[in-house]
């Protein structure tokens, strides 16, 4: 299947995302006569074939949605072989690397290919991703996944240690992205890979000590405008809550001048006249509100990005 070309109907061999609810989604390659088991019972692959992407398909104890596999859905359902990057960081990386159709990008390491899928979509249809991974099995699996998602013409996975051996390409990349334990060792090689006319770099690291070393390496290698940010995503929960009205009238008030007293009285009257129904002390009111959750995902990592200016000028 071609992950970058949305189509209407599911065909045999397609990858679909089976959506049970917002927390339970599974990637599934549709194969005739096979059955997928979920908490809603058995889902026959034959019932998915020919159905519309986005539609409901019946199981023995309920129904599920079958969704088209976008890079975003792939990120939250892919089989993990490493830690991966998620949508909040990915979106900032794509903006900060200034990626667009036609961009040439170097990425290390490939890991589970979460970021790679989003990079490929951003640079399609005529860009190219050179992605590097020194772990043999991970490199192999990533290449197979790109092939089965119809992305092979936009990406090449190379098994290589970019810290010791560099990227093996000179002056071709518009942007370089690093998600490595020791990115500072790859930074000088990144400067070599970037185009003569200049380009962007971005490095993801969980620890501030890694960031410090990476920033220094960037400065020494000729990168400028070095910025480090942390991107935290906060979800608001929409809930109905009941609150008790507290009137502060009964508490001692600060002594005000007669003029200020008069002004406050007028303001209170205006406020009261604006209310549909004045609430009394101790009364309860129920309304919808948006609350930050008590617990939410915290630190993932720091993103450090910078520009590499015209190569000859930065020497």
| CA atoms within 13 A of residue 216's CA, in its CB half-sphere | 8
Q: Which of residues 169-198 bind ligand SAM (CB under 6 A)?
A: 179-181
Q: Does 91 bind ligand SAM (CB under 6 A)?
A: no
Is residue 163 part of the contact set for ligand SAM (CB under 6 A)? yes
Q: Give the helix/strand (H/E) hosting 291.
A: strand 284-291
Q: Hey, what are 183's tokens?
A: 């990115």
Q: Which of 59, 93, 96, 113 binds ligand SAM (CB under 6 A)?
A: 113
* 105 counts as binding ligand SAM under rule CB under 6 A: no
What gap in Å lies between CA 180 and CA 191, rounded to an integer? 16
Residue among 49 and 85 whose Cβ is closer to ligand SAM: 85
Q: Is 17 in the site for ligand SAM (CB under 6 A)?
A: no
With binding defined as CB under 6 A, does residue 145 bind ligand SAM? Answer: no
Out of 64, 108, 154, 187, which residue is the one contacting ligand SAM (CB under 6 A)? 108
Place of tokens 């890079």: 71
Q: Which stretch binds ligand SAM (CB under 6 A): 41-49, 81-89, 250-258, 274-282?
A: 81-89
Residue 217, SS3 per DSSP: helix
Q: How many angstroms separate the CA atoms of 15 and 2, rounded?
A: 9
SS3 category, 148: helix
Shortest Å, Cβ 260 to ligand SAM: 60
Pick the closer one to ligand SAM by CB: 59 or 166.
Answer: 166
Decide if residue 71 touches ligand SAM (CB under 6 A).
no
Instruction: State yes or no: residue 127 binds ligand SAM (CB under 6 A).
Output: no
Crossing angle of the two packed helices 114-123 and 87-96, in degrees rounded to 10:
40
Q: Is 83 in the site for ligand SAM (CB under 6 A)?
A: yes
**115 lies in the binding site for ligand SAM (CB under 6 A):** yes
Closest CA to 166 of 195, 187, 146: 187
Establish if 301 lies at the interface with ligand SAM (CB under 6 A): no
The answer to whether 200 touches 306, Cβ cutoff 8 Å, is yes
Closest to ligand SAM by CB, 134 vs 184, is 134
From first CA to last CA, the distance across the chain in angstroms is: 46
Q: Tell which one of 133, 145, 158, 174 touches ligand SAM (CB under 6 A).
A: 133
> In terms of DSSP bridges, do strands 199-205 and 175-178 run parallel, antiparallel, or are they unpaired?
parallel
What are residue 224's DSSP bridge partners?
307
Tell me which of 68, 132, 146, 305 binds ligand SAM, using CB under 6 A. Answer: 132
205 binds ligand SAM (CB under 6 A): no
Instruction: Decide if residue 135 touches ligand SAM (CB under 6 A).
Output: yes
Q: d(Cα 186, Cα 268) in Å, to the nearest integer?
A: 64
Closer to ligand SAM by CB, 206 or 293: give it.
Answer: 206
CA 52 distance to own-chain centroid: 26
The site for ligand SAM (CB under 6 A) is made up of 82-85, 108-109, 111-115, 132-135, 138, 161-163, 179-181
């Amino acid at each position: 299947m071609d992950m970058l070309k949305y189509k209407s109907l599911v065909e045999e061999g397609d990858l679909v995302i089976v959506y049970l609810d917002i927390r339970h989604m599974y990637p599934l390659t549709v194969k005739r006569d096979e059955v997928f088991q979920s908490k809603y019972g058995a889902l026959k692959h034959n019932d998915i074939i020919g159905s519309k992407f986005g539609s409901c398909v019946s199981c023995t104890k309920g129904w599920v949605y079958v969704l088209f596999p976008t890079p975003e859905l792939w990120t939250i359902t892919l089989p993990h072989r490493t830690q991966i990057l998620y949508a909040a960081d990915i979106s900032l990386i794509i903006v900060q690397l200034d990626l667009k159709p036609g961009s040439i990008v170097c990425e290390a390491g490939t890991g589970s290919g979460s970021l790679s899928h989003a990079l490929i979509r951003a640079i399609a249809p005529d860009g190219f991703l050179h992605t590097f991974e020194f772990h043999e099995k991970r490199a192999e699996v990533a290449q197979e996944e790109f092939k089965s998602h119809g992305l092979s013409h936009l990406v090449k996975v190379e098994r290589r240690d970019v810290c010791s051996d560099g990227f093996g390409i000179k002056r071709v990349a518009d942007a370089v992205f690093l998600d490595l334990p020791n990115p500072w060792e790859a930074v000088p090689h990144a400067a070599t890979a970037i185009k003569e006319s200049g380009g962007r770099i971005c490095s993801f690291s969980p620890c501030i000590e890694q960031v410090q070393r990476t920033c220094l390496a960037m400065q020494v290698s000729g990168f400028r405008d070095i910025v480090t940010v942390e991107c935290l995503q906060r979800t608001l929960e929409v809930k109905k809550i009941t609150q008790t009205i507290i009137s502060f009238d009964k508490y001692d008030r600060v002594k005000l001048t007669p003029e200020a007293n008069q002004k406050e009285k007028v303001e209170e009257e205006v406020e009261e006249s604006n209310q549909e129904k004045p609430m009394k002390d101790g009364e309860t009111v129920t309304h919808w509100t948006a609350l930050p959750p008590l617990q939410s995902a915290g630190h993932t990592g720091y993103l450090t990005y910078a520009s590499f200016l015209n190569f000859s000028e930065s020497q």
